C-alpha cells in the first residue's frame, strides 16, 4: 500500500511545476529534524492510544515502524524523496508503505503546522543544551589557562593603547564573563521555548478528545501553549536562540581579534597551536592564525541569520504561512556555525602558549603607572582632579627625559607636589600596583583567585 505523495492529496489533479516543486521542498535541510519528528510522532501515537482514539495494536505497529524508518533514513538505507516535500511526509509515507493502514492513523488529531512547530522546538531545545555544554568547555579551558597564569602580568588596554597593568588571568576571565552571559541567554531562550504546541492543529486545534498534557510530558516540555493561532505561527523561540547565538559569535569574534593581535610580531604575546594555524603559499616563514580570523568573520554570518529570521516573520498574518519554512535554514546555520566556532575556540585556547617575559616587559613602556601616582596623591589628601593633573604633568616630564615614571626620582616628584614621599616607590612597582586593586572584580591576585574558585565551582 503506497503512502501519500506530498500533502496536496486529491484536491489537485496535476503536479507542481518542477521549479516550483524544488522551491517548495525542504527535505534537503529539514531532514535534521528526523529524530525529533519521530519522537514527536511516537508521543502523539501513545497519547492517541491512551485516549482510545487508536488501538493498542496500531500503537505497537506505529512505534515499531517509526523506529525502523528512522534507522533506515539515518543510515541511508532509504533515500530522501524530494517529491515528498519534507521530513514529515518522508517519514509518514515510508511508515505507511511499511505498516499500512495503522500508519494512516498516525496523523489523527494533528496538522503538519503543529507537527513542524513541535519538531523545531525539540531541535532548538537540544541545540541549546549542546551549545551550553560547548560554552562551558571553552570556559573551562579559559579557567585552566588563567590559573596557570595567575602571576603573569600584562598591559591592559583602552583604545588599543597601553593603559594599566593587569594580570593575564584577569584578561582571560574577561573573556569568560562574556561567554557566561551568552550561556545565560541561550538557557533563557531554551526555557522560554520549552512549550508544547502539539494539539494546536492547523490553527484551530481539533474536535478529537486528545490530551495535550500527555504529549507535553512525554516530550519533556514544561507546559502547553495557550493559543492555537499563535502556536503554529510562532517562531520567537528560534529568533531568540539565534539572537543569543549571534551575540555569542560576536564575543568569539572579539576573542579571535585579540588572538590575531597577540600572535602578530608587533605584539608577540602568544602563539596558537599549529593545529589551528596555516602557512602561506608563497612565504615559507608564515604561520597565520587563520582559524582565529575565521571565528572573527563568522559573526557576520550568524548576525545575518538573525536578520533573516526577523525579516521573514515581520508582517506575517496569523496563523501559519509558508514563509515560515524560511526560518529553518537560518536557525540551523546559526546553531551549527556557533557549534563549530566554540569547538575551535576551545582548541585554540587550550593550545595557547604565552610569552611571559614579553608580556611583563610591555608594562615597562608607556607610563602605565601614571594612575598610581594620582591615587597615591589622593591618599595624601590631594583632590583627585588635581592629582590627575599632576600625574599628567609628570608623564610629560618623563617623556621629555626619555624615562619611565619610576626613573624620575623623588626630587622631581616633589617638585611637582610636596606630598610625594619615599614610599611612592612602592606605588611604582607594577606587581604591587595590580595587587592594591582588591575590589571585587579587580585584577589583584586575591580577587582573581577568588573569581577562579567561584568559576571552578560553577563549572563542576
pLDDT along the chain (460 residues), means of 10: 54 76 88 98 98 98 98 97 94 97 97 98 98 98 98 96 96 98 98 98 97 98 98 98 98 98 96 90 83 98 98 96 96 98 98 97 91 94 96 95 92 95 93 94 97 95
CATH 1.20.200.10 domain residues, the chain: 113-148+155-356
Find residue 155's DSSP bridge partners. 165
Quote the DSSP letter at residue 11: G
DSSP state of 105: T
Q: What is the pairing mode between strands 270-271 and 353-354?
A: antiparallel
Identify the CATH assignment for 113-148+155-356 out of 1.10.150.130, 1.20.200.10, 2.60.40.10, 3.50.50.60.
1.20.200.10
Sequence-distant (6+) residues with CB within 8 A of 303 are 246, 249, 250
Burial of residue 359 (CB within 10 Å: 0-12, 13-18, 19+) is: buried
Top-level class of domain 9-108: mainly alpha
Topology of the domain covering 362-458: Ribonucleotide Reductase Protein R1; domain 1 (1.10.40)
pLDDT value of position 11: 65
State if pTM tops 0.95: no
Cell numbers at residue 228, please?
Answer: 492555537
The C-alpha cell at 338 is 556557533
What residues are annotated to the active site?
Answer: 159, 280
The 3-class secondary structure across 317-383, one letter per residue, is CCCCCHHHHHHHHHHHHHHHHHHHHHHHHHHHHHCCEECHHHHHHHHHCCCCCHHHHHHHHHHCCCC
Q: How far apart are CA 68 and CA 103, in angstroms?
A: 13
Instruction: Give strand ranges (E) for 151-269.
Output: 153-158, 161-167, 195-196, 223-224
Condensed to tens digits (0 to 9), the pLDDT of residues 63-93 reads 999 999 999 999 999 999 999 999 999 999 9
The per-residue pLDDT for range 118-175, each reduced to its tens digit, is 999 999 999 999 999 999 999 999 999 999 999 999 999 999 999 999 999 999 999 9
Contact call for residues 341 and 261 (beta carbons, < 8 A): no
What is the dihedral sign for C-alpha 37, 40, 46, 49? negative
Let me know if 400 is exposed, middle or buried by CB neighbors in 10 A (0-12, 13-18, 19+). Answer: exposed
- All CATH 1.10.275.10 domain ranges in the chain, comma separated: 9-108
What is the number of helices (H) and of strands (E) in the chain? 20, 6
Set of cell numbers at residue 99: 505498516
Contacts of 284 (CB under 8 A, 6+ apart): none
Domain with CATH 1.10.40.30 in the chain: 362-458
- What local confidence, expressed as pLDDT, does residue 1 receive? 40
**CA 205, chain centre distance (Å):** 35
Closest to 244 measured CA to CA, from 178, 301, 189, 326: 189
Amino acid at each position: 500500500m503506497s503512502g501519500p505523495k506530498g500533502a496536496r492529496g486529491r484536491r489537485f489533479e496535476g503536479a507542481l511545476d518542477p521549479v516550483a516543486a524544488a522551491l517548495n521542498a525542504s527535505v534537503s535541510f529539514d531532514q535534521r529534524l528526523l529524530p525529533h519528528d519521530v519522537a514527536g510522532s511516537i508521543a502523539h501515537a501513545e497519547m492517541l492510544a491512551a485516549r482510545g482514539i487508536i488501538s493498542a495494536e496500531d500503537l505497537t505497529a506505529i512505534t515499531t515502524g517509526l523506529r525502523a524508518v528512522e534507522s533506515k533514513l539515518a543510515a541511508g538505507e532509504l533515500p530522501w524523496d524530494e517529491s515528498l516535500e519534507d521530513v514529515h511526509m518522508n517519514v509518514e509515507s515510508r511508515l505507511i508503505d511499511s505498516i499500512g493502514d495503522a500508519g494512516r492513523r498516525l496523523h489523527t488529531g494533528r496538522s503538519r503546522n503543529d507537527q513542524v512547530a513541535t519538531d523545531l522546538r525539540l531541535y532548538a531545545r537540544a541545540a541549546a543544551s549542546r551549545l551550553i555544554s560547548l560554552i562551558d568547555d571553552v570556559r573551562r579551558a579559559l579557567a585552566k589557562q588563567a590559573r596557570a597564569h595567575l602571576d603573569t602580568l600584562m598591559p591592559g588596554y583602552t583604545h588599543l593603547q597601553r593603559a594599566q597593568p593587569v594580570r593575564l588571568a584577569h584578561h582571560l576571565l574577561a573573556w569568560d564573563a562574556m561567554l557566561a552571559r551568552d550561556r545565560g541567554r541561550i538557557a533563557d531562550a531554551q526555557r522560554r521555548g520549552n512549550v508544547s504546541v502539539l494539539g494546536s492543529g492547523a490553527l484551530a486545534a481539533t474536535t478529537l478528545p486528545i490530551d495535550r498534557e500527555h504529549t507535553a510530558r512525554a516530550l519533556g516540555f514544561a507546559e502547553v501553549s495557550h493559543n492555537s493561532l499563535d502556536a503554529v505561527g510562532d517562531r520567537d523561540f528560534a529568533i531568540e536562540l539565534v539572537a543569543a547565538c549571534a551575540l555569542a559569535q560576536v564575543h568569539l569574534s572579539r576573542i579571535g581579534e585579540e588572538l590575531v593581535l597577540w600572535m602578530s610580531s608587533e605584539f608577540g604575546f602568544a602563539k596558537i597551536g599549529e593545529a589551528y594555524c596555516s602557512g602561506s603559499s608563497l612565504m615559507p616563514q608564515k604561520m597565520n592564525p587563520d582559524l582565529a580570523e575565521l571565528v572573527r568573520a563568522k559573526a557576520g554570518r550568524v548576525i545575518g541569520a538573525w536578520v533573516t529570521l526577523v525579516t521573514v516573520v515581520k508582517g506575517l498574518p496569523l496563523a501559519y504561512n509558508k514563509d515560515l519554512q524560511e526560518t529553518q535554514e537560518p536557525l540551523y546555520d546559526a546553531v551549527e556555525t556557533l557549534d563549530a566556532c566554540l569547538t575551535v575556540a576551545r582548541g585554540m585556547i587550550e593550545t595557547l602558549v604565552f610569552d611571559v617575559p614579553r608580556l611583563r616587559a610591555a608594562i615597562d613602556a608607556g607610563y602605565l603607572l601614571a594612575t598610581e601616582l594620582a591615587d597615591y596623591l589622593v591618599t595624601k589628601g590631594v583632590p583627585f582632579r588635581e592629582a590627575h593633573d599632576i600625574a599628567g604633568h609628570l608623564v610629560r616630564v618623563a617623556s621629555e627625559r626619555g624615562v619611565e615614571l619610576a626613573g624620575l626620582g623623588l626630587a622631581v616628584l616633589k617638585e611637582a607636589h610636596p606630598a610625594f614621599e619615599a614610599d611612592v616607590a612602592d606605588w611604582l612597582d607594577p606587581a604591587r600596583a595590580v595587587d592594591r586593586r582588591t575590589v571585587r572584580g579587580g585584577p589583584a591576585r586575591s580577587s582573581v583567585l577568588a573569581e577562579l574558585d567561584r568559576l571552578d565551582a560553577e563549572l563542576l
